[in-house]
Amino acid sequence: MAEKLAAYYRTSLEDFNRAHGLADQSQSIGNQRKVIMEYLHGSEELSGCSVLEFIDDGLTGTNTDRPQFQAMIEAARRGEVSCIVVKDLSRFGRNYLDVGDYLEHIFPFLGVRIVAVNDGYDSQNYIGMTGGMDVAFRNFMYENYSRDLSIKVRSAMQARMKDGRFVNHVPYGYRKHPSDKHQMVPDEQTAPIVREIFRSIIAGKSTTQVARELNAQGVLTPLAYKQHRLKPACQERDLMWSHVTVLNILRNIKYTGSMVNHTRESRYMRDRNQRRVPKEEWIVTEGTHEAIVTQEEYEAAQAQIRAVKKHERKPPDSSDRIFYCGHCGRKLRKSFGLDAYFACDTQLYQEGAACAGIRWSKTDLETVLLPIYRTQLELMGEQVRDLQSAFQKHPMVNWDSRLEKIDQEIARQNARKIQYYEEYRSGEMTRESFFQRKTALADRIAELQAERTKIETERQQEQEEQSERRAVQREAEAYLSASAVSSEAFKASMYDAIERVTVFSNRHIEVRWKFEDLFVKLHREERRAV
């Protein structure tokens, strides 16, 4: 018998961060619904069942006097619900005695199955056993232990932050102190690189120049260096320095010997949902560790960064997203002058890169792309005309008429069967003759049924083909309408029709359209014909 499913969701004031007024997203109604629906979808037994939803939003879990919870229990008493699914048992409540009573007595009496997805609990597995109370008790204790532990851990971390001890990752240029994991000291391998980055910027070099020099020297990026230290055999060699990587180092005040903590926070231990903390709430402690650069060097580097003239950026358009390098696969960077230009950034950071020859003006690209697009539209026009001609030459068969004739013939054969039986019962037909005719009728009816099935299949195939042709025609007509608009609108329609343009250094480009490439299709058909 199919289960009559109910899903129960509950949030309470306990699920909100009172200090910051932020909801705990892991306990939100949306998250609970997602967890439950994914479970049901993956369950061979429960998937496809209709689900009644009961929601108590912002109500305490210390008792069961909740409107929607009680409505769900009443539905179970009336036999409208045979299975209740929750994200975890704490959604039922935080009073383990109440939860255990429902699991051990009330729900079994009502014949209701209980599933708690995250707890891995299914009452169907505990029939005649006391597993329900055990699961509920463990769940209750874990909830309270985790909450208490989170408070204690947060307090300890706050104390360490105020003492100027780091509580997250060690920045590039430093390593953990050998005897104190909450203190850091300069890394003899990477600290000189950090100093050189600051000195180069103060001397007037750009972040791009610095990145290019580091790549030429084979210096590992911060991420590659970290990977190398953890797993030397699995070193990632394809990572490269960029102006962003250099900027991140230049802006990190920790290199002056100051510690900055509490820039992000989460509500619970191991909670991945973090929020940015306002700068005025950061915990900054000076002189907590050995500096790699002086405060004066840090300020001088910041002044150089601020002195860089910001280029006036035009708003992005649809052309910005479609151009890619054919050598490294990076999206081409758009720059402005008398014209917009597209080039690959890899050449900025790696000498001798194949990408160095990639620099196309937008005007040149459109000079190549627009005729291709126009030709594609012309081919589409021919395709539409061919489809219209096919519709006229091959009108749809009157399938209903054919099926009606078959059904009438089957009805006649069945009537004959009754007629033969009556003649046999009245003595007008011998037993042998009756069975011969009966067998012949059965064979004829089977032939008619097979013919009917064949017609049904042919009708379905034709309907699918017609539907596909109409869809192709509608798509083609939509693009063809672009050929009648102004030049700027025509360009816009072209960019909307392009999925990706891959650009190579030898001035070769490849275009991938959102529709079937009719050049490719035509070439394929010509090869088949040869």
Question: What tens digit of pLDDT does each residue of 493-523 get?
Answer: 888 888 899 988 777 888 888 877 765 666 5
Flag the least confident range among 181-195, 295-309, 390-404, 420-434.
390-404
Supply the CATH number for residue 257's domain: 3.90.1750.20
What's the rounded Cα separation, in Å, for the pair 300 and 79? 76
Mean pLDDT, rounded, of the chain: 76
Residues 122 and 37 in one domain: yes
pTM of the entire structure? Answer: 0.41
Residues 141 and 209 in one domain: no
**What pLDDT was estimated at residue 472?**
63
Whether 81 contacts 112, CB under 8 Å:
yes
Residues 375 and 456 in one domain: yes
Instruction: State how many domains the chain has.
Output: 3
Residues 281 and 388 in one domain: no
Q: Judge whether 52 lies within some domain.
A: yes
Q: Judge whether 329 lies within some domain.
A: no
Residues 374 and 518 in one domain: yes
Mean pLDDT of 347-360: 78
State yes or no: pLDDT of 164 exceeds 50.
no
Residues 185 and 136 in one domain: no
Question: With left for phi above 0 and alpha for psi between -120 and 50, is residue 93 left, alpha or beta?
Answer: left
Number of helices and strands in the chain (H, E):
16, 19
| Residue linked to tokens 């690209």 | 365
- pLDDT tens digit sequence for 421-470: 888 888 888 888 888 888 888 898 889 989 988 888 888 887 777 776 67
Residues 13 and 151 in one domain: yes
What's the rounded Cα separation, in Å, for the pair 41 and 47? 5
Greatest mean pLDDT among 15-24, 136-145, 164-173 lies in: 164-173
Residues 508 and 394 in one domain: yes
Residues 234 and 147 in one domain: no
Mean pLDDT of 69-77: 90
Give the max Cα distance, the chain: 122
State yes or no: pLDDT of 292 exceeds 90.
yes
What's the rounded Cα separation, in Å, for the pair 408 and 405? 5
**What pLDDT was estimated at residue 515?**
77
**What pLDDT was estimated at residue 366?**
86
Q: Name the residue range of residue 288's domain.
A: 174-307
**What pLDDT was estimated at residue 17?**
43
State yes or no: pLDDT of 156 exceeds 60.
no
Residues 193 and 121 in one domain: no
Q: What is the DSSP string of 53-101?
A: EEEEES--SSSS--HHHHHHHHHHHTTS-SEEEESSGGGT-S-HHHHHH
State yes or no: pLDDT of 21 exceeds 70.
no
Supply the CATH number for residue 113's domain: 3.40.50.1390
Confidence of residue 142 (pLDDT cuts 50, 70, 90): low
Pairing mode, strands 51-57 and 5-11? parallel
Q: Judge whether 454 lies within some domain.
A: yes
